[in-house]
Amino acid sequence: MTKKVLVVDDSALVRKVLGEEISKFSDFQVVGSAIDPYDARDKILKLNPDILTLDLEMPRMDGLSFLSKLMKFHPMPVVVVSSQAEEGSIAAMLALELGAVEIVPKPGSQFSVPDVAHNLIHALRAAGAITPEKLQQRSQQQETPVAVPLMKTTHKVVAIGASTGGTQAVEAVVHGMPPDGPGIIIVQHMPETFTGAFAARLNKKCAMEVREARDMDYVTPGIALIAPGDKHIVLERSGARYQVRVKGGPRVHYQRPSVDVLFQSVASNSGQNAIGVILTGMGSDGAKGMLAMHSEGAHTIAQDEKSCVIFGMPKEAIELGGVDEVLPLTQIAGGILAKVNSCRN
């Protein structure tokens, strides 16, 4: 079914470029554009779009303020199309917390129009797959995981993969970890200029240290490493220790970083000493990698359908037979720690 899209941006050029690129795909119809949130409010009521693309820096009302009001009074799927400034990256993280589905960079010196169009169409398709019930759930329920007692040092490795809706899901899991929790490696599908801001934001909120991964970082208790955007991340052994390698390479499932690339490396190098977690997201990235981890003796966990924004990646992993446990989001941190503790006893 064709999805109706409203483009909201104060730049006439950006509105024109985005509108033309979206219109190239038959599953979308651009029904209009708006120059600011007040114009967008009127167009939403008049045109009844299915999806909104939203700029964050606009006259009369900024995008974050508008998004907050929109998700409270008229929830709908929103894809943020943001500039590459560091301030914009932080604002994009706030937008995801407020309920935006995805963030996509604007065309500019770093990203060509075709690159942006590819990311935007993927984001719009993910947004179009979200049901009204899931939108209500996101706008009304922001659950905080229960704090977990401190645990002893462990050499377990936790590998987490997520896509659409994953920023909030990743935060929920990492927030549930104690300061000395098991070393974590995270792949969240996200443009390269936003992963650093995402890591910094989590670092302020979580007991563990959270940062963007650097090549040859060790995976140690108390630290969560987030794969940099546009780079794959893999786990390797370094003697008795684990470290990550951050590298280029072709996209896998149209993604770089790819969850499958991480999970396959964890299966090869950590085996039963690992715990794999696959969270909300569109597509099948991570399913084969999780099966490989499961086959090598790792304990694997998938987020359940009810708590997922999109039950795509977890569903594929479950159907492939690579999942040991299916848990609601609020129980995943506890599930990880329970497995870690049971292995020490």
Q: Do 275 and 336 contact (CB within 8 A), yes or no? A: yes
Q: Please, what are the domains in the chain?
A: 3-140 (3.40.50.2300), 157-344 (3.40.50.180)
Output the CA torsion sign for 6, 15, 251, 272: negative
DSSP secondary structure letters along 129-176: T--HHHHHHHHH----PPP---------EEEEEE-TTHHHHHHHHHHT
Q: Is 163 a catalytic residue?
A: yes
Q: Is 232 a catalytic residue?
A: no
CA dist., res. 83 & res. 89, Å (int):
8
Q: Which of 122, 175, 189, 253 is catalytic?
A: 189
Q: Which of 258, 285, 299, 307 is catalytic?
A: 285
Q: Is 122 a catalytic residue?
A: no
User: pLDDT of the chain along its 345 residues, tens only?
Assistant: 899 999 999 999 999 999 999 999 999 999 999 999 999 999 999 999 999 999 988 888 888 899 999 998 899 999 999 774 444 467 778 888 888 998 888 877 567 888 888 889 999 999 999 887 787 776 665 444 444 443 433 378 999 999 999 999 999 999 999 999 999 999 999 888 889 999 999 999 999 999 999 999 999 999 999 999 999 999 998 777 899 999 999 999 999 999 999 999 999 999 899 999 999 999 999 999 999 999 999 999 999 999 999 999 999 999 999 999 999 999 999 999 999 888 765
**Does the predicted model carry a pTM greater than 0.85?**
no
